[in-house]
């Protein structure tokens, strides 16, 4: 099949315009970072932007029972090729993470019409990929892949801003979480899925490549460690009489670093959240909660780190006369991409004439959940110095345009 060369300048300009629009004040709850998440006006404004743009080019737009956007140019259940990502953001987010993927998918839908390709397409913009609303990453795609239970959805997920249960918040926003199981039907009939995304690391930049073809996504485990001590006077309590939970946290943070390094295999461990109660300068803490985010391309390696740091926390707390609870939030296994889709992307990306690299993703993506039932792969766009989950995140629409051309041609080959 002849490679279709698109007008990359026009595509880059449209992508740049979409990204700038979606970085405006109506689309973020923060003046510096991009901050938008499920069931907020800013998220609704962004979702509505995509719905309008897609309806304007003849797509029907719906939402699954919890609010994931689904747009089609063919009737439900008919074979289609899936494209998309997420447009919610990290609470300290940048313009590009997730949103660029949905914008690129929208641009693919535009080009499909303009070039009269007639490709059957289904665009998905997943709810709550970042977990910024409820602390639950990949929530929309886990619901679609049925990687959550009704009990979890009803009982153990709470809005970070208000403490309100997820279920109640979804209902108040006009959705029907009771029908959450029907969300899996969205994936029916999909012959493949490609998620465009910024790399969120600096391999493409440092190796001079313009397109990344992702062949595997690292797995992860998320958990909270609650250390229980005793609140006491900071001045009057002698050092020997203290049950200070912050000492256990300090030892665990350094031990996690040691364990992750020792595990090798690109294993990483992060303590991103530390919550001290009562958090007063002149009071010894009573309780401290800290988060664990442990990942890697080999499940046994990072899960081994999770096992060892949990044991370490218990051992160090006991040695200091305190107790610990380790509560797992969720886990998603390391996920290989589909070889045929990876090969089609490699061929199409090579045909763009730009340098291409096949690589794995250290970041998690909704594609991990789609992969259960649909052949999947991802395409990375370089991002400046690998910075992400930061307002300093930056990427080039011109690079995204090359990736769009590659994906369009790969889908043409896969659907033919």
- Give the start-end residues of each E strand in 279-319: 283-284, 287-296
Q: Which of residues 236-275 bind Mn ion (CB under 5 A)?
A: none
- Residue number, 53 or 88, with CB nearest to ligand HGY: 88
**Cα–Cα distance for residue pair 183/87, rounded to 1 Å:** 18
Residue 98 near Mn ion by CB under 5 A: yes
| Closest to Mn ion by CB, 94 or 189 | 94
- Binding of Mn ion by 97 (CB under 5 A): yes
Write down the least CB distance from residue 129 to Mn ion, Å.
Answer: 6
Closest separation in Å from C-beta 72 to ligand HGY: 26
Radius of gyration of the chain (CA): 22
Where do contacts with ligand HGY occur on this chain (CB under 6 A)?
129-130, 137, 363-364
Q: Between 136 and 247, whose beta carbon lies closer to ligand HGY?
A: 136
Give 120 or 382: the residue with its C-beta nearer to ligand HGY.
382
* Minimum gap (Å) between residue 296 Cβ and ligand HGY: 12
Which one of 14-22, 97-105, 156-164, 286-294 is the stretch in contact with Mn ion (CB under 5 A)?
97-105
Residue 137 interacts, among Mn ion, ligand HGY, none and using kind-specific CB cut-offs from 5 to 8 Å, with ligand HGY
Query: Within a 10 A sphere around the Cβ of 90, how many other Cβ atoms?
Result: 23
Task: Evaluate whether 115 touches 38 at the Cβ level (below 8 Å).
Answer: no
Q: How far is the CB of 236 from ligand HGY (least distance, A)?
A: 43
Q: Is the CB of residue 350 less than 8 Å from the CB of residue 213?
A: no
CB of 334 to ligand HGY, least distance (A): 13
Helices 397-415, 99-114: crossing angle, 10 deg rounding: 60
- CA dist 394 and 285 (Å) reads 39
Angle at 274 between CA 273 and CA 278, to 5 degrees: 140
124: enclosing H helix or E strand: strand 121-126
Binding residues for Mn ion, total number by CB under 5 A: 2
Decide if 326 contacts 225 (C-beta within 8 A): yes
> Which of Mn ion, ligand HGY, none does residue 66 bind to, with CB < 5 to 8 Å depending on kind?
none
Among Mn ion, ligand HGY, none, partner that 364 touches (CB below 5 to 8 angstroms by kind): ligand HGY
CB of 288 to ligand HGY, least distance (A): 23
Pick between residue 53 and residue 97 the one whose CB is nearest to Mn ion. 97
- In this structure, the number of other CB atoms found within 10 A of the CB of residue 140 comes to 25
The residue among 301 and 364 lying less far from ligand HGY, judged by its C-beta, is 364
Whether the upstream peptide bond of residue 219 has omega within 30° of 0, thus cis, is: no
Separation of alpha carbons 389 and 301, rounded Å = 25
Stretch that binds Mn ion, among 66-74, 98-106, 188-196, 332-340 (CB under 5 A): 98-106
How far is it, in rounded angstroms, from Cα 319 to Cα 314?
9
Judged by the rule CB under 5 A, the positions of this chain that interact with Mn ion are 97-98
């Amino acid at each position: 099949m002849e490679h279709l060369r698109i007008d990359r300048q026009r595509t880059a300009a449209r992508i740049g315009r979409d990204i700038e629009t979606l970085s405006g004040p109506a689309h973020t709850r923060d003046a510096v970072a991009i901050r938008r998440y499920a069931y907020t006006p800013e998220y609704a404004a962004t979702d509505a932007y995509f719905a309008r743009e897609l309806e304007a080019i003849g797509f029907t737009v719906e939402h699954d029972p919890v609010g994931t956007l689904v747009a089609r140019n063919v009737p439900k259940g008919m074979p289609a090729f899936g494209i998309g990502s997420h447009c919610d953001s990290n609470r300290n987010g940048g313009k590009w993470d997730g949103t660029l993927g949905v914008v690129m998918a929208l641009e693919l839908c535009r080009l499909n019409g303009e070039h009269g390709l007639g490709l059957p397409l289904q665009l998905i913009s997943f709810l709550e990929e970042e977990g910024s609303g409820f602390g639950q990453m990949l929530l929309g795609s886990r619901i679609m892949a049925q990687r959550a239970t009704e009990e979890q959805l009803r009982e153990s997920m709470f809005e970070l801003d208000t403490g309100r249960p997820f279920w109640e918040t979804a209902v108040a926003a006009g959705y029907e979480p009771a029908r959450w199981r029907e969300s899996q039907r969205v994936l029916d009939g999909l012959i493949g899925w490609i998620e465009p995304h910024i790399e969120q690391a600096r391999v493409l930049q440092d190796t001079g490549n313009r397109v990344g073809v992702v062949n595997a996504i690292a797995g992860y485990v998320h958990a909270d460690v609650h250390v229980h001590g005793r609140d006491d006077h900071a001045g009057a309590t002698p050092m020997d009489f203290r049950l200070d939970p912050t000492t256990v946290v300090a030892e665990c943070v350094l031990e996690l670093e040691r364990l992750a390094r020792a595990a090798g295999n690109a294993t990483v461990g992060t303590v991103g959240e530390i919550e001290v109660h009562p958090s007063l300068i002149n009071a010894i803490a009573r309780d401290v909660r800290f988060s664990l985010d442990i990942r890697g391309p080999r499940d046994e390696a990072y899960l081994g780190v999770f096992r060892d740091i949990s044991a370490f926390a218990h051992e160090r707390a006991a040695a200091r006369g305190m107790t610990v609870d380790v509560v797992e939030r969720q886990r998603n296994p390391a996920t290989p991409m589909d070889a045929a889709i990876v090969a089609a992307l490699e061929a199409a990306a090579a045909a763009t004439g730009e340098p291409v690299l096949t690589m794995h993703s250290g970041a998690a993506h909704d594609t991990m959940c789609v992969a259960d039932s649909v052949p999947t792969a991802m395409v990375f766009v370089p991002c400046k110095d690998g910075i992400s989950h930061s307002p300093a995140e930056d990427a080039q629409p011109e690079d995204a345009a090359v990736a769009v051309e590659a994906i369009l041609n790969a889908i043409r080959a896969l659907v033919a």
